[in-house]
């Protein structure tokens, strides 16, 4: 037996032993398991040669569902490297059969048989599609958000996957940015709590549970602040904006134990995030002491060359590793350069070992060393995906995500016995667009359309007329192919359908006008300069309005749109986003009053695109805006305020806020004040209200925002019922990243605001001594 063979056998026995030893302990928690994982990781690391270590830091895409430039490496080359055990993870291999095949390449051919992790962008469901993340965030319902992530995880795990690239926790304030649909919107606090709910949903309490998968907080950091909303663009923010606005959701994710982070394409103040040592090494792995691993974004290591920040790919690999990027997604920079860079002393073995340890640790936590095919169970794949139970929760999520913006003369809800309804618009009978962008394995044309939802709801005597009116679909998008070539072109010629729409509107008691944006108008690379109604939609709306004023706008969108013009004339406006598989049923639940809408905007709706970026929590200026002095910090041709502010949303009932009280008006920096308020349902039907707490720090060592969300409670109130909502005002609520470069509470006066949206004026003043 030659030396190599001997070594191989010894290694195999060692790994086998490590794995079996783990079996008795795998359900234990706490330090002992962490210590034991650490020990196992160290033992495996000791067996690895340099090439194998670098291999663990490589992630390949299988080649479809590409989100970036197509791979320059052939499938054969990728397979060969997998066989040699030189790939740590792959993305876009989905289904038990394919995952098994890929895993076998490693397990049956490589020296050390270190299983790969399988990743996929499961952003809002795998096959059961939930509302797009921005929509779901409008529910302000942490329970349903966690449930939907848990189902997405269960379906993914049943398809062989064990890692999703979600949640996106980029604070995003520019409606032009296409990826605004993928996150929680403009507020750091809301991004934090919803991000954490999603992480808990994906990861559960135990990553080794076969129904959970690893989550990924992305994109670290600043990606949502791309200049003028242009995707992938430069981010120009100062240190305080970074710490007070952008980082808090990431810190919350790290504290919640998110398994991985993804860095981002953009530069911040001249340094590409992928090569940002302060962000990744000093803050994330240093100050926050986070133990997971950082994956690059697609090709973002190589793209540092295009940024003009790295001379070539090798230089890019050097910068990325030194900055703390542990895994290289599709740049092929680590595999081609790290060995050489180490020889030249430009990177350290210590950093390579650290990256590999972090990656191996997740593999142990997932239980892949116990059983590399653990997630490859055909029975689960057959039974756990797209089930009735999952669809029921998708419907619940859909209805809870809807936001009622306008309801003049109580045009909604509509009686199920109404004589006639006209359903008009390009999205009225559309079974695909509700799936939104990033719909993973959602089947083309599989959503419940609005027409189907309405028909299922009304009685036999109700006539339901349908006319599309106009064509809006984006011609360049084909099923299964998420890529398209710009610029978008919409039909502005063919107006024939408008007359037909007018004819049905004329003979109907009410019109549901289903317009807005196509699924592929938002998402990655879908930034737009216009956020109004594309194509012939305005003409359609006007033509219908001329014959029937009883219109409810049912707005499909993945971003805040400019709806000012229709807002002036239409009596009813419902924001129905891209709501997923059960869209039509969820909307019908609200239209006909089976569910009383409770959604609140997670992002401001502007009066026009010129206001973007628009967000409520802006800092004050030396010449604060004042409605009678429009030149101050505003515009001369538009009001400064949002058309509908952050946190806004109506219900079919109404709520009043009374007896706002604090148990004391002064306290120390470490003290607590309890704020309470009586919230009453003053209407005649049951409903839910999101009670929102905002603060304003009146004088700070840095200029402070005019308002900041610091807490909320979603409460159910029966007709006539009053409940007391209480909030604890403490260090967590009052602190910020100050001029001293640390999080601290400063003494002085604060306003505490309570209300049903961010424009509330109901407040109490407190003093921190």
Task: Report in angstroms how near the CB of residue 165 gets to ligand BGC at its nearest.
Answer: 3
Q: Which two tokens stand for residue 78?
A: 């990728």
Q: How far is it, in rounded angstroms, from Cα 383 to Cα 48?
A: 39
297 binds ligand BGC (CB under 6 A): yes
Nearer to ligand BGC, 61 or 692 (CB): 61
- Smallest separation, CB 759 to ligand BGC (Å): 33
CB of 432 to ligand BGC, least distance (A): 21
Q: Does 261 bind ligand BGC (CB under 6 A)?
A: no
> Taking the complex as a whole, how short is the minimal distance between the CB of residue 231 and ligand BGC, in angstroms?
9
Distance CA 686, CA 689 (A): 10
| Binders of ligand BGC in range 118-137 (CB under 6 A) | 121
With binding defined as CB under 6 A, does residue 524 bind ligand BGC?
yes
Q: How many CB atoms lie within 10 A of CB 723?
A: 16
Residue 398 C-alpha from the chain's centroid: 16
Q: Which is nearer to ligand BGC, 438 or 577 (CB)?
A: 438
Contacts of 704 (CB under 8 A, 6+ apart): 619, 620, 696, 697, 698, 736
Instruction: Count CA atoms within 13 Å of residue 667 on its CB side.
Output: 20
Query: Please, which residue, 91 or 394, has the CB nearer to ligand BGC?
Result: 91
The minimum distance between CB 166 and ligand BGC, in angstroms, equals 8
267 binds ligand BGC (CB under 6 A): no
Q: SS3 sequence, 726-755?
A: EEEECHHHHCEECCCCCEECCCEEEEEEEE
Q: How far is the CB of 98 from ligand BGC (least distance, A)?
A: 17
Separation in Å, CA 257 to CA 65, 89, 167, 223, 250? 28, 20, 13, 22, 11
Q: Which residue in 22, 121, 267, 297 is the catalytic one?
A: 297
- Interacting residue with ligand BGC among 198, 218, 315, 399 (CB under 6 A): 218
Catalytic residue at 637?
Answer: no
Q: Tell me: does residue 466 bind ligand BGC (CB under 6 A).
A: no
Question: What sign does the dihedral 666-690-202-555 (CA atoms) show?
Answer: negative
For residue 470, what is the DSSP state?
S
Give the residue with the Cβ less far from ligand BGC, 68 or 413.
68
Residue 67 binds ligand BGC (CB under 6 A): yes
Residue 328 in the binding site for ligand BGC (CB under 6 A): no
Give me the 6-45 binding string for ligand BGC, x by CB under 6 A, dash otherwise: ----------------------------------------
Please state, in angstroms and as integers, the Cα–Cα distance from residue 269 to each residue in 39, 226, 276, 319, 370, following that order. 40, 11, 11, 16, 45
In whole angstroms, give the CA distance from residue 248 to residue 171.
10
Q: Does 170 bind ligand BGC (CB under 6 A)?
A: no
Q: Which of residues 212 and 437 has its CB atom nearest to ligand BGC in the complex?
A: 437
Render 360-380 in DSSP notation, one character per residue.
HHHHHHHTTTT-TTTT--HHH
Residue 68 found at the interface with ligand BGC (CB under 6 A): yes
Question: Is the CB of 218 or the CB of 526 nearer to ligand BGC?
Answer: 218
**What is d(CA 104, CA 115) in angstroms, rounded to the nearest whole number?**
9
Select the residue interacting with ligand BGC from 60, 118, 140, 165 (CB under 6 A): 165
CA distance 499 to 491: 16
Number of residues located near ligand BGC, criterion CB under 6 A: 9
Find all residues with CB under 8 Å of 672, minimum gap 6, and list them: 728, 729, 730
Nearer to ligand BGC, 165 or 533 (CB): 165
Report, in Å, the least distance between residue 613 CB and ligand BGC. Answer: 20
Rounded distance between C-alpha atoms, residue 632 and residue 629, angstroms: 6
Q: Which of residues 176-215 bind ligand BGC (CB under 6 A)?
A: none
CB of 729 to ligand BGC, least distance (A): 36
Q: Which residues are annotated as catalytic?
A: 297
Residues that bind ligand BGC in the complex, under the rule CB under 6 A: 67-68, 91, 121, 165, 218, 297-298, 524
């Amino acid at each position: 037996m030659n030396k190599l063979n001997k070594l191989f056998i010894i290694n195999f026995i060692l790994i086998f032993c490590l794995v079996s030893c783990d079996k008795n302990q795998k359900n234990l928690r706490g330090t002992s398991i962490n210590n034991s994982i650490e020990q196992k990781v160290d033992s495996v690391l000791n067996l690895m040669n340099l090439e194998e270590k670098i291999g663990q830091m490589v992630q390949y895409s299988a080649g479809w569902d590409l989100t970036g430039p197509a791979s320059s490496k052939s499938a054969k080359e990728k397979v060969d490297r997998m066989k040699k055990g030189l790939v740590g993870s792959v993305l876009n291999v989905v289904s038990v059969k394919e995952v098994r095949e890929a895993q076998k390449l490693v397990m049956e051919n490589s020296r050390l048989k270190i299983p790969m992790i399988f990743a996929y962008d499961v952003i809002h469901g795998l096959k059961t599609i939930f509302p797009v993340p921005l929509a779901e965030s409008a529910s302000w319902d942490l329970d349903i958000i966690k449930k939907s992530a848990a189902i997405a995880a269960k379906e993914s795990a049943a398809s062989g996957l064990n890692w999703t690239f979600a949640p996106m926790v980029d604070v995003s304030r520019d409606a032009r940015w296409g990826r605004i649909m993928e996150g929680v919107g403009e507020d750091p606090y809301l991004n934090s709590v919803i991000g954490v709910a999603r992480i808990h949903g994906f990861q559960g309490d135990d990553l080794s549970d076969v129904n959970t998968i690893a989550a990924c907080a992305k994109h670290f950091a600043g990606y949502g602040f791309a200049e003028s909303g242009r995707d992938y663009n430069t981010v120009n923010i100062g240190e305080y904006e970074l710490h007070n606005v952008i980082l808090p959701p990431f810190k919350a994710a790290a504290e919640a134990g998110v398994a991985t982070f993804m860095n981002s394409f953009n530069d911040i103040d001249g340094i590409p995030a992928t090569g940002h040592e302060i962000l990744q090494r000093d803050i994330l792995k240093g100050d926050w002491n986070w133990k997971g691993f950082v994956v690059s974004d697609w090709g973002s290591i190589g793209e540092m060359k295009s940024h003009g920040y790295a001379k070539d790919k090798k230089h890019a690999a050097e910068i990325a590793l030194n900055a703390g990027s542990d895994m290289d997604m599709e740049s092929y920079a680590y595999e081609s350069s790290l060995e050489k860079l180490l020889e030249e002393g430009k990177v350290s073995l210590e950093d390579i070992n650290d990256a590999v340890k972090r990656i191996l640790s997740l593999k142990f936590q997932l239980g892949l060393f116990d059983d590399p095919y653990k997630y490859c169970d055909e029975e689960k794949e057959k039974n756990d995906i797209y089930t009735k139970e999952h669809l029921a929760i998708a419907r619940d999520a859909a209805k809870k995500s809807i936001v009622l913006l306008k309801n003049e003369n109580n045009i909604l809800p509509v009686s199920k016995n109404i004589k006639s309804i006209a359903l008009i618009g390009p999205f009225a009978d559309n079974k695909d667009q509700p799936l939104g962008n990033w719909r993973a394995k959602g089947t083309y044309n599989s959503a419940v359309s609005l027409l189907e939802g309405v028909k299922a709801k009304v009685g036999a005597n109700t006539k339901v007329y349908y006319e599309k009116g106009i064509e809006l679909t984006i011609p360049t998008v084909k099923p299964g192919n998420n890529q398209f070539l710009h610029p978008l072109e919409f039909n502005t010629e063919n107006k024939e359908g408008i007359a037909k729409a007018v004819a049905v509107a004329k003979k109907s008691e009410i019109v549901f006008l289903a317009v807005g944006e196509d699924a592929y108008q938002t998402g990655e690379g879908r930034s737009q300069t216009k956020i109004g109604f594309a194509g012939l939609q305005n003409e359609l709306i006007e033509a219908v309005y001329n014959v029937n004023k009883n219109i409810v706008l049912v707005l499909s969108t993945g971003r805040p749109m400019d709806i000012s013009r229709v807002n002036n004339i239409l009596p009813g406006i419902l924001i129905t986003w891209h709501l997923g598989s059960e869209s039509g049923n969820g909307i019908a639940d609200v239209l006909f009053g089976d569910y009383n809408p409770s959604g609140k905007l997670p992002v401001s709706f502007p009066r026009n695109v010129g206001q973007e970026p628009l967000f409520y929590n802006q800092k004050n200026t030396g010449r604060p805006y004042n409605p009678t002095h429009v030149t101050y910090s505003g515009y001369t041709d538009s009001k400064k305020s949002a058309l509908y502010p952050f946190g806004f949303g109506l219900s079919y009932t109404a709520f009043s806020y009374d007896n706002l009280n604090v148990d004391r008006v002064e306290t120390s920096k470490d003290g607590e004040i309890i704020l309470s308020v009586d919230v009453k349902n003053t209407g005649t039907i049951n409903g839910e209200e999101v009670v929102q707490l905002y603060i304003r720090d009146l004088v700070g060592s840095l200029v402070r925002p005019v308002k900041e969300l610091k807490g909320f409670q979603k409460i159910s109130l029966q007709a006539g019922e009053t409940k007391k909502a209480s909030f604890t005002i403490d260090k967590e609520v009052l602190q910020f990243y100050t001029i001293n470069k640390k999080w601290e509470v400063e003494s002085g006066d604060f306003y505490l605001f309570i209300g049903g949206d961010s424009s509330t004026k109901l407040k109490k003043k407190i003093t921190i001594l």
